[in-house]
Structure 1
Amino acid sequence: MRLFLVLTFGFLLSSVQTFSQSKEPTVILISLDGFRYDYVERFQPDNISNFIEEGTRAKSMISSFPSKTFPNHYTLATGMRPDRHGIVDNTFYDPKKDQVYAIGKRELVTDGSWYGGTPLWVLAEQNGIKSASYFFVGSEAAIQGVRPSYYYDYDGQVNNLTRISKAFEWLQLPDSIRPRMITMYFSDMDDIGHRYGPSNEEQIGKRLKKLDAELGALFEGVKSLDLNVTIILVSDHGMIDVTLERRMLLDQLVEGIDARIVNSGALAHIYLKNPSEKKSVLESLKTKKGNFKIVDPSDLEYYKDINSFGERIGDLIILADPGYYLANDQNYLETVARRMRIDGTSARGEHGFDPQAQEMHAIFYANGPQIKEGLTIESFENIHVYPLICKILGLPIPSDIDGNVEVLQPILK
């Protein structure tokens, strides 16, 4: 594998014309979906470990609520919590649009009207800095009428080396058209974590070793270029094992309730047909026993600005306890059981739970000319990555974000 990557990397550099380039700062924000905070300590991947030693790491990064993929990627992109940027879950209902947003609905994912805030690539383009994205939530949509100068519609079949080779090409473009804000996305650890669970040492370790080798090619390639590049490795959430016995039947919990129910597993949103019935429905649901709780969204600390996109959150929420999961019905439960038998597993990995649960914690590792070396910082919320990148690139920090530049300022030289 290592020889193959070295040969591939050498071909990539030799096949692209090199231009004289300026030393203006460039940031590559790389998301490793589902990379739990403790994977590096557990598996000691060579290239990522070296990357960390030469830069700054956080003990962990705390996801926004819910700890799902789309809300947290878009929080990283905007510096806003989900209740303010509008992507409140992987799946949710918008009463104003009378549509259910879901990550598999391409026509909605690419519709900029669903997305609030100002993503990093939009801010960069608005300030004369070209941006590029090889898959990142929101980058396929025209948000505020703006897309990255270079982007691709998501296709999970595109292998990692293809994505990395394109990043090399972008970095070697002439100054006038070279992107200095690049976002990249790799799903490996989320894919394997869901299938086998984060406790499966063999499967997690094997996939991480492959990903580490591919990232090593990227790290070495960037070092070989005469550029001022900061690389930031993040993830959106962690992962926890969920056995078949800990999957609860949602249809039994909500039986008789006149509402639209949108379930994303760790939580379910309840949109009442008659909102005036909220109090009585809440009291009725609270009489049911199990490893979950029923809450009014306005009572959750994570929704600090409930009026922004409150209608998308729902009237009530069912929250599964960490390690438990809401199955839509018996058919869904049987499908999960069949997949687990095929894979020979006793649990599958899930996420979306309370971000304070340690298993939901993500990663933050940074390395580059402006980043301090050998520094470890305390855990922090992912809303603060956005203003850090603005600071590095010299971009104005929007006044309406939730992140605070002072949180990560100490990691800069």
Structure 2
Amino acid sequence: MQRLTDHLIVLSFDCLSSKDVPRLRELPNFKRFLNGAAVCDEVKTIYPSTTYPCHTSIITGNYPAKHGIVNNTKLQPGRLSPDWYWKRKEIKGTTLYDEAKKRGMKTGALLWPVTARANIDYHIPEIFANRKWHSQTAVSLVNGSFYYTLDMNFRFGHLRKGIQQPWLDDFVTASTVHTIKTKKPDLLLVHLVDLDAQRHRYGFSAEQSSEALERHDIRLGAILDALEEGGMMERSTVIVLGDHSSLDVTQVIKLNVLLKESGFIQVNDKGKISSWQAFCKSNDGAASIYLKDPSDFQTKERISALLHSLRMNRENGIERILSSDEALEVGADNDVAFMLEAREGFYFTEEIDGPAIVEISQEDVVAGTYCKAVHGYSPNKLNYNTVFIAKGKGIMPNGTIESMRLVDEGPTFAKLLGVDLGKTDGRVLDEIIQS
């Protein structure tokens, strides 16, 4: 296959929304990048629209039902902090960086989800220490490029405060700039999380979220300057994208409280889950109901009756109930017994104690117990689309994309690099490709 660009730089600004576009057009570096770019400001995300499934869809061109990353975290009832889908081996099928490596290309990834232990040349994965006996430095070194990670931390480690934002994104940006100038990778995937973190904590339109956009503008400018200073700009394609939007919330749905009260979850004398027949796994704005025994049709019928009874009352916050077949139709996990969509203003947690519906207080937000804005919702939610902006070699200047989905990005990137992802759920955005 013909390769259309020498360098593909993909910058994912987590939680960048279609509603942010007017503001982006005012910020100097986004404005500079938007000038002459091909743009779609109404990109349909996936279901569930959480970060790890989204980023895996971006680099595979497939929905979660096919690539297997169906949530940020794994189904581990009773664990206070479930493990995340960190590792490349958990993705079914091939990825953009796999195919690039097969063609002998130099690859890089900075905090790109679900890449731990991947075959990537310049690599710091998104992973954190999730056991008391682990350290952040150790898990990063073991799961990424050992010497590269040491070098980036030696040079720029003073910029970060663990995994806290906005300092982590400052570290990632400095590492990105250095990598572009010194390594000149053929493919570089960069994930920046500042905006998403601020929206979770303070709300979609909060002043802190606006300030995060301004910081992202500075980061984008530094990366564009690095490409120019390194003599790479004319030979490069730069992609700026989001993975999902988010919605403000005021109430929490703790469905596991009701499952416990109904006898589907059992706890020990310390209040910890000892066994379960059904469990609600949160995707924030959506949730999945799993059965310990998928063939337990009696339990499934009882759960169905409970859910439909709850849905009758709007105050319970459940907007839609999907069967496993309906979940598969929208590209979600078909191993679920049911999938639930929360009404706007509500989101799901996995807690098993307290009231089933909780009004979020400012004290909860300050303590970090609950969020003020979340994602995970259906891509059909109103005003919930994300953004795709492409510019550079192989891209038609001022190209227009009338309609696209998140899964269309991977096949388009593959065409630019001259690699093949195989049969995908997404399509190539041929309308903006310039051979």
For the aligned residue pairs, the C-alpha RMSD in angstroms reads 3.0
1:162 to 1:280, Cα distance in 2 relative to 1, 3 A: closer
Contact kept in structure 1, 2:5 and 2:394, CA below 8 Å:
no
Q: Which residue of 2 aligns with 1:16?
A: none
Q: Which residue of 1 aligns with 2:215?
A: 210
Letter of the 2:404 partner, please give it: F
* Equivalent of 2:254 in 245, 249, 252: 249
Contact kept in structure 1, 2:285 and 2:346, CA below 8 Å:
yes
- Between 151-160 and 80-89, report the one with greater CA deviation: 151-160
Letter of the 1:167 partner, please give it: T
1:111 to 1:205, Cα distance in 2 relative to 1, 3 A: closer
1:45-74 deviation digits (Å, cap 9, x = unpaired): 221122112211102211110111111011
Q: CA deviation at 1:109?
A: 3.8
The yes-or-no answer on 1:189 pairing with 2:195 is: yes
Question: Aligned to 2:376, what secondary structure does the other structure show?
Answer: coil
Contact kept in structure 1, 2:43 and 2:404, CA below 8 Å:
yes
Q: Which residue of 1 aligns with 2:98?
A: 122
Q: CA deviation at 1:301?
A: 6.3
Letter of the 1:235 partner, please give it: G
Q: CA deviation at 1:42?
A: 3.6
Q: Which residue of 1 aligns with 2:290?
A: 271
Question: Aligned to 1:294, what secondary structure does the other structure show?
Answer: strand
Q: Which residue of 1 aligns with 2:383?
A: 359
1:341 to 1:66, Cα distance in 2 relative to 1, 3 A: closer
Contact kept in structure 2, 1:59 and 1:376, CA below 8 Å:
no
Q: CA deviation at 1:378?
A: 2.1
Distance 1:61 1:276 in 2: 38
Letter of the 2:321 partner, please give it: I
Q: CA deviation at 1:323?
A: 2.6
Q: Which residue of 2 aligns with 1:322?
A: 344
Distance 2:203 2:194 in 1: 13
Q: Which residue of 1 aligns with 2:230?
A: 225
Where does 1:10-409 land on structure 2 (aligned, <5 Å)?
A: 25-42=6-23, 44-93=26-75, 109-142=85-118, 147-154=119-126, 156-157=163-164, 159-173=168-182, 178-200=184-206, 202-227=207-232, 228-243=235-250, 246-254=251-259, 255-256=261-262, 257=264, 258-274=277-293, 275-277=296-298, 278-288=300-310, 289=313, 290-292=316-318, 293-300=320-327, 302-304=329-331, 310-311=334-335, 314-327=336-349, 328=351, 329-330=353-354, 337-339=361-363, 342=366, 348-395=372-419, 397-405=420-428, 408-409=429-430
Letter of the 2:50 partner, please give it: K
Distance 1:54 1:102 in 2: 49
Distance 1:56 1:198 in 2: 26
Distance 1:382 1:171 in 2: 26
Contact kept in structure 2, 1:92 and 1:101, CA below 8 Å:
no
Letter of the 1:163 partner, please give it: V
Contact kept in structure 2, 1:230 and 1:368, CA below 8 Å:
yes
Contact kept in structure 1, 2:108 and 2:122, CA below 8 Å:
yes
Contact kept in structure 2, 1:297 and 1:303, CA below 8 Å:
no
Letter of the 2:242 partner, please give it: S
Distance 1:286 1:165 in 2: 51
Distance 1:130 1:300 in 2: 37
Q: CA deviation at 1:338?
A: 4.7
1:166-206 deviation digits (Å, cap 9, x = unpaired): 333333447xxx42010001101101111111122x22222
Distance 1:392 1:297 in 2: 36
Distance 2:287 2:356 in 1: 15
Question: Aligned to 2:249, what secondary structure does the other structure show?
Answer: strand
Q: CA deviation at 1:373?
A: 2.2
Q: Which residue of 1 aligns with 2:142?
A: none
Q: Which residue of 1 aligns with 2:158?
A: none
Distance 1:128 1:161 in 2: 30
Q: Which residue of 1 aligns with 2:134?
A: none
Count of residues in Structure 1 that have an aligned counterpart in Structure 2: 366
1:90 to 1:264, Cα distance in 2 relative to 1, 3 A: same
Q: TM-score scaled by structure 2?
A: 0.76
Q: CA deviation at 1:387?
A: 1.1
Percent identity over paired residues: 24
Q: TM-score scaled by structure 1?
A: 0.80
Letter of the 1:113 partner, please give it: K
Distance 1:342 1:54 in 2: 42
Question: Aligned to 1:357, what secondary structure does the other structure show?
Answer: coil
Letter of the 2:20 partner, please give it: Y
